Amino acid sequence: MFKRKSMFLLLAVFASVVFIITGCGNNDSSDNAESNSSDQESNETRTVTDAMGHEVEVPANPKNVLASYLEDNLVALDITPVAQWSVNNGSPQGYLQDSLKDVQTIDSTLPFEAVASVKPDLIIMDSASMVEGDKYEQYNKIAPTYVMGTEENGDWRKELQTMGEIFGKEDEAQKVLDEYDAKATDAKEQIQGAIGDESAAAIWLVGGQLYIVSENLSSGAVLYGDLGITVPEGVKEISESATANWNPVSLEQLAEMDVDHLFLINSDEGDGSEILDDPLLANVPAIKDGNVYKYDKDTSWLYTGPIANEQIVDDAVESLVK
């Protein structure tokens, strides 16, 4: 969150031939050839080098892919993972559930036994930190393991392109990127026409604590990078030393922030209005002028990827262009 198929078994059933005729013999030969071709295809691999320099034997047609924190990329390429991550067996990424509602969950810490239980034939790790120590060797014993990047907050565009390379879907990945960039360009024109150089920020309420999105990460990269919305000085200051997607912000800090629009993502009960009603925040332009746009935890604002970012773009247009 702070950052990034069901099991298939090929069966060949051969029927006993009870009539000794040439036609039946030809059919058997055809069936055997087709089965042997399928078996050969399922055993083929390609060698690819991951971000850590591992040479990984990737199945030519992986069926049970585990790629925790990268499910957005898989869904964008029409690939269904064998499992999706969740925290303490809780609700998984809500915004992807139209595509993943029937996919079982796996704990976000990816315990070895849990990973082995879903029988992956390919494991894709989001970052090097997920395979620290001897973890890579342990996961690689379960299935070929590919590490996507060395940084915890990798560029989602590069990740999507890499995913396309792994699965031989380079063209599909590029099409997804092109469609997203076209949507973002159009949205940027609409938003700038509606609010000009007014600023905006995204804040997240969870456990009674507020967090603010970094300037160049997660939904911040969409708001400021893709949509060209003005970055409040307070966000710039927090982002200078931040390493996480979302960083704690006190009521006092928010009260001093000259921000014209606020996107509130609420993971607590209610709609989050109570915390924004604090007298300390009365003079924040966005709150004073009623420019607060509320979204719940099942929306895509806490995530990143082609699907998440496209939904954020749609939300921004809906909220800001009136």
Between 35 and 196, the higher pLDDT residue:
196
In the three-class reduction of DSSP (H, G, I as helix; E, B as strand; rest coil), residue 1 is classed as coil
Report strand pairing: 261-266 vs 292-296: parallel
In the three-class reduction of DSSP (H, G, I as helix; E, B as strand; rest coil), residue 6 is classed as coil
The ranges of the chain annotated as CATH 3.40.50.1980 are: 22-168, 192-320
The yes-or-no verdict on residue 215 having pLDDT over 60 is yes
- pLDDT at site 279: 95
- pLDDT at site 135: 97
Identity of the residue numbered 81: P
d(CA 97, CA 281): 35
HSE at residue 241, side-chain half, CA atoms within 13 A, is 4
The CA-based angle 183-185-188, given to 5 degrees, is 105
Average pLDDT over residues 199-205: 97
Q: Which CATH superfamily is domain 192-320 in?
A: Nitrogenase molybdenum iron protein domain (3.40.50.1980)
Q: How many helices (H) and strands (E) does the chain have?
A: 13, 12
In the three-class reduction of DSSP (H, G, I as helix; E, B as strand; rest coil), residue 297 is classed as coil
pLDDT band at 43 (very low <50, low <70, confident <90, very high): low
Range name among 121-135, 265-279, 303-317 with the lowest pLDDT average: 265-279
Q: What percentage of the chain reaches a pLDDT higher than 70? A: 86
Asked if 114 contacts 82 with a C-beta cutoff of 8 angstroms, the reply is no
Average pLDDT over residues 137-162: 93
Domain 22-168 is of which CATH architecture?
3-Layer(aba) Sandwich (3.40)
The yes-or-no verdict on residue 5 having pLDDT over 60 is no
* H-type alpha helices, 82-232: 97-100, 112-117, 135-142, 156-166, 170-195, 218-220
Token pair of 169, please?
Answer: 């879907």
Which one, of 285, 313, 308, 310, lies nearest residue 298 by Cα? 308
d(CA 321, CA 164): 34
Average pLDDT over residues 257-273: 92
Identity of the residue numbered 73: N
Average pLDDT over residues 99-104: 95
pLDDT in tens, 9-39: 222 222 222 222 234 344 444 444 444 444 4
What is the reported pTM?
0.85
Token pair of 105, please?
Answer: 């969950």
Which one, of 76, 75, 82, lies nearest residue 59 by Cα? 82
Range name among 6-15, 159-168, 202-211 with the lowest pLDDT average: 6-15
Identity of the residue numbered 210: L
Token pair of 122, please?
Answer: 């390919």
Average pLDDT over residues 62-87: 96
d(CA 281, CA 95): 30
Average pLDDT across the chain, whole number:
87
